[in-house]
Amino acid sequence: MKLHSPNFGNNQPIPGDHAFCIPDPENHVTFGGNKNPALSWSDVPAGAKSLVLICHDSDVPSKPDDVNQEG
């Protein structure tokens, strides 16, 4: 199965138009465009009845006291 987006390449960062948050030199971070990227898929296995896409950002803090901290 293949998943494709014309908005960004394989193993590339999500562009600011599609990210929730982007780096900002004055304020550390600022809001991005947070738009849904276009997605398409092909070569879906025969017999598949549904698809699930899980997006997990391993850079996002998992503990509340780590939010908005350097590093």
pLDDT of residue 67: 67
- Whole-model pTM: value is 0.66
Strand locations in 1-71 (E): 2-4, 21-24, 28-31, 40-42
Tokens 């896409």 sit on residue: 53
Taking only the tens of pLDDT, the chain with its 71 residues reads 999 999 999 888 889 999 888 888 888 888 999 999 999 999 999 999 999 998 877 777 677 776 666 65
pLDDT of residue 6: 96
Break the chain into its structural domains and give their ranges.
1-57
Residue type, 26: E
Which DSSP symbol is given to 9? Answer: -
- 3-class DSSP assignment, residue 23: strand
Measured between alpha carbons, how far is 15 from 37 in angstroms, rounded to an integer? Answer: 9
Tokens 């296995």 sit on residue: 45
